[in-house]
Amino acid sequence: MQAYSRINRISNIRYGLIGFFRQNKLKLFVLIFLAILGILTGVFTALKCGVDISNAQGYNLTIYANGNVFSFNVFFSRMLSYIIVIGAISLCSLSVFLLPISYLLFIYRGYLIGFNATLLIIIFGFSGMFTSIVIIIPCQIAFTFLFMIYFCIMINRAIQRKHFGYCEKPKFLKLFFITMLILLLFNLIETMLLILLNAKTIFII
């Protein structure tokens, strides 16, 4: 019976995820497109700005180049950045007039990923490329995708509330704290990877 119950729960989760992505495929497509647009804009901007190791001071990169930064000092700054994004998405979901701001957030986050990853490669060469491809880009894409899922859920709640006057599930506070716990876990994983792999560069994105 326990095995059957476990299989049933797994099956329910799987069908729930499939249903969620089917219901929100258009929203996710638009958000992914905007994020890719932001990434490409960031890459081209970094290539055009003419930064190298000799003039990196204007981009606050020297503190990362010398390897003296301690990763957990940046951990809390990144966490604050993620809290701001989640807070902004939550506020923007309260009104249809604020929705464009949420879309701009995904363009901006994509821009930062592309810009910072490209600067890492330009300034630090192979070391920057390794850090970007192995750690920064995968982790930041995971963060951005989590923001997209949160955005879709919040928009669905807003639509349900508009049509029926209330939204029974999911509860906002429960959703918010679960999302924050996942972000905290992802942030910890990224920080530990940077420490374990002895990365010299950490970007607050």
Region 168-196 average pLDDT:
83
Residue 55 has what pLDDT?
55
pLDDT in tens, 104-161: 999 999 999 998 888 888 887 777 788 888 888 899 999 999 999 999 888 887 777 6
Q: Give pLDDT, residue 148.
A: 92
Q: Given a cut of 60, is residue 24 above it in pLDDT? A: yes
Helices (H) and strands (E) in the chain, counts: 7, 0
pLDDT of res. 11? 62
Contact 204, 78 (CB under 8 A): yes
Decide if 114 contacts 38 (C-beta within 8 A).
yes
pLDDT attached to residue 123: 80
Q: Are 76 and 146 in contact (CB under 8 A)?
A: no
Q: Identify whether 100 is preceded by a cis peptide bond (ω within 30 of 0).
A: no
Peptide bond just before 170 cis, omega within 30 deg: yes
Q: pTM for the whole thing?
A: 0.80
Is 56:123 a contact under the CB 8 Å cutoff?
yes
Task: Give the whole-angstrom CA distance, residue 35 versus residue 110.
Answer: 5
CA distance 105 to 90: 12
Cβ proximity of 81 and 75 under 8 Å: no
Q: What is the pLDDT of residues 56-114, one digit of tens each?
A: 555 554 444 444 445 566 778 888 989 999 999 988 887 777 878 888 999 999 999 99
Bigger pLDDT: 136 vs 42 = 42
Q: Specify the pLDDT at position 146.
A: 93
* pLDDT per position as a tens digit, 11-20: 656 666 677 7
Residue 170: left (phi > 0), alpha (psi -120 to 50), or beta? beta
